[in-house]
Copies of this chain bind each other. A is one copy, B any other.
C-alpha cells in the first residue's frame, strides 16, 4: 500500500492511498480522512460511495465533509467507483464500465473478471482499513446517486456490517429505471432474481436488520422522475415496517452543492449511531 496524497485538513489529514486489490484484480485508489482524534485514539469509519463518473476524488474535494468529520471524530473512506487499469473492460458511455461499477459482483463476461465492487467494498476494503489505520470496527455507509444505491444495498444485504446508513439522491429501484436496467443486464445477465439481490426496493421487503435510513433528495434533481424515484423505496419501506426518513429538499439539484448543504446532518446521524451502540 502506497500513500499518494497527504494534506493537512481541519486538524487531521486528507490522504489518498493505492493498493493492489485481490478482489478486483487491479490497483485501486481510496481516500481516507483521518480526523484529529485519530492521532490519539481509534475512531469509527464512514464509508462514502460516489456516483457515476466519479473517482475517490470527488467527495473529498467538493463535499466539505472534513469539518464535520473532525468535529465528530469520524474517519471517512472513499473508494473509487469501479476497477481501473488497462486490463479492465470498459464500454462507451458514462453509465457502464469504468466509473460505473454499480457496487455489484458481475457474473457476465467481460465484466466478471474485475467488476466485483460489492465484495471489495463490503469485505476487502474494511479489512485493509482496519489493519492499517487508527480505526475501530464501527462502520457506517453513505453515498450519492449510484453510490446511494450502493450504500443502501450494501447495508441491506449485509446485516451486522454497518451500524448506520444514509444516502443522497439514491437509485432506489435499479430494476425499474434505465441506469439500473442497462448496468444489471450487462453485469448480471438476464436472470432478474440476481438483479433483486442488488435492488434496495426488493431487499427492503425482506430485511432482517432494520437500520434507520436517512435519505435526502433534491426536488429540482434532473434525474428525480426518470432514474431515482425515492417514493418507491419509501412505499416499500412503509409496507414492511422499515424506518426510512425521506426528506425532499426544495430547490436542490443532483450536484455536490446539494451534498455539501446536508452532509453535516448525515455525519451527525452517523455519529449518533456509531457512538450509541
Contacts and interface: CB of A to CB of B under 8 A. Distances in A.
A9 B61 contact: no
Copies of this chain in the oligomer: 2
Given A8-B253, A257-B7, A64 B61 contact: no
A237 to B, nearest CB: 26
Contacts of A11: 261
Nearest to A251: B8
A261 B10 contact: yes
A123 interface: no
Interface string A57-96: 0000110101100000000000000000000000000000
Interface in A174-194: none
A258 interface: yes
A249 interface: yes
A256 interface: yes
Interface string A103-142: 0000000000000000000000000000000000000000
Is chain A's binding surface mostly helix, strand, loop or mixed?
A: mixed
Nearest to A255: B7
B67 A8 contact: no
- In this complex, the member of A249, A253, A257 whose beta carbon has the largest number of chain B beta carbons within 10 angstroms is A257
A67 B66 CA distance: 13
A9 B257 contact: yes
A261 B252 CA distance: 25
Given A9-B258, A11-B261, A64-B260, 11 more contacts: A7-B257, A8-B249, A8-B250, A8-B251, A8-B253, A13-B251, A14-B257, A61-B62, A66-B257, A66-B260, A66-B261
